[in-house]
Amino acid sequence: MREITYRQALNEALKEEMERDATVFLLGEDIAIYGGAYGVTADLWKKYGDKRVLDTPISENAIVGVGLGAALTGMRPVAEIMYIDFIGLCLEQLNNQVAKIRYMFGGKCKVPFTLRTEGGAGRTLGAHHSQSLESWLIHIPGIKVVMPATPYDAKGLLKSAIREDNPVVFIEHKMLYNVKGPVPEDEYTVPIGSAEVKREGKDVTLLTYSRMLSFCLEAADVLEKEGIDVEVVDLRTLLPLDVAAIVDSVKKTNRVVIVEEDCKTGGTGAEIGMKVVEEAFDWLDAPIARVAGADVPMPKSPVLEKLAIPDAERICEAVRKILNK
């Protein structure tokens, strides 16, 4: 199968959905002529023009509100918020309006709205361009939250998100854009709300998503040489969480380590871990462990930045610890 980058996979998903459905249009900062801060919308403006690839002023709250208004009235907008760090500027519209409007209106409207953004550390961009804020978003009933880790999933999930009649926050990772992986040329989608076992194992389950998947797979290779058989579950969607897939894996391995890039306190791992306790406690042979980001603003220095997020070695240590090895 051909290999393309995560960026190209996303670009293809946008192009294909724009071809498929004339109501799909893109709006966001620097997405047209510039092609997006990370190049995801490259060349789409040339093909479709302003009407369907719309550069907006730097007005995040209005980008989300305008997207909602368009979604309510017959369009299928895909908005881009350049960095998830800017989500605070539009949380009012996202949390109070986008997420709640269908419920508040008694189900008498649809909100086919995709909000693309990207997050994560790794480029030493400092505290305002490196955060992982997904835990804020999974606390908002009414939206879905998707975080793909591979080019294949990125394309398939973005196509599903655009076709959804519910609002989806689609969070990419800045360190994945250049990562290559197999992506079929034929049409496919990946369902929202379904996790995938990316590596089978029997001794311990790593529950992870987004960029941390690659660190988990790296750790699994190291641990294999030590005789530890690691299963890696890529959650792919954080809201709604694929609890059945998590439980299946826990039943098999009886041990769980959650690997997340966001700050540990109040992070996604807290929710995922409690779901395991609620749904699979009887199958646990060890306490659930978390390998998470440090509870600090992301520091600039490359040395400190590396320390602030999990790496393969720390994942290995956590696994050895719960296996008493």
Q: Is 67 in the site for other proteins (CB under 8 A)?
A: yes
Stretch that binds other proteins, among 2-10, 114-122, 159-167, 292-300 (CB under 8 A): 159-167
Q: Which two tokens stand for residue 168?
A: 């989806």
Contact (CB, 8 A) for 207 and 259? yes
Q: Which of 35, 119, 120, 142 binds other proteins (CB under 8 A)?
A: 142
Burial of 278 (0-12, 13-18, 19+ CB in 10 A): exposed
Q: Is 28 in the site for other proteins (CB under 8 A)?
A: no
Shortest distance (Å) from residue 324 CB to other proteins: 42
Stretch that binds other proteins, among 138-146, 147-155, 172-180, 266-274 (CB under 8 A): 138-146
Could you give the string, one character per residue 208-247, with x where binding to other proteins holds by CB under 8 A and - elsewhere?
Answer: ----------------------------------------
Shortest distance (Å) from residue 162 CB to other proteins: 14
- List the one residue out of 179, 36, 235, 13 whose CA is nearest residue 117: 36
Q: Which of 59, 178, 265, 301 binds other proteins (CB under 8 A)?
A: 59
Q: Which of 37, 66, 222, 284 binds other proteins (CB under 8 A)?
A: 66
d(CA 4, CA 186): 14
Contact (CB, 8 A) for 229 and 202? yes
Q: What's the chain's Rg over C-alpha atoms?
A: 19
| Residue whose structure tokens are 């360190």 | 175
d(CA 219, CA 289): 15
Sign of the dihedral through C-alpha 36, 41, 45, 51: negative
Shortest distance (Å) from residue 142 CB to other proteins: 6
Stretch that binds other proteins, among 12-20, 91-99, 194-202, 242-250 (CB under 8 A): 91-99
Shortest distance (Å) from residue 77 CB to other proteins: 8
Q: Is 96 in the site for other proteins (CB under 8 A)?
A: yes
Enumerate the active-site residues. 60, 129
d(CA 144, CA 161): 9
Q: Residues 81, 55, 8, CA angle at the centre, nearest 5°?
A: 65
d(CA 191, CA 100): 23
Shortest distance (Å) from residue 67 CB to other proteins: 6
Q: Residues 103, 190, 130, CA angle at the centre, nearest 5°?
A: 75
Q: Which of 64, 157, 207, 292 binds other proteins (CB under 8 A)?
A: 64
Contact (CB, 8 A) for 199 and 229? no
Q: Which of 9, 10, 31, 68 binds other proteins (CB under 8 A)?
A: 68
Q: Is 117 in the site for other proteins (CB under 8 A)?
A: no
Q: Residues 21, 184, 214, CA angle at the centre, nearest 5°?
A: 110
Kindly identify the residues of this chain, within the stretch 32-51, that bind other proteins according to CB under 8 A. 51
Shortest distance (Å) from residue 43 CB to other proteins: 21
Give the count of residues interacting with other proteins (CB under 8 A): 40
Neighbours of 80 (CB within 10 A): 26
- Judged by the rule CB under 8 A, the positions of this chain that interact with other proteins are 25, 51, 56-57, 59, 61-62, 64-75, 77, 92-93, 96-97, 101-110, 141-142, 144, 164-166
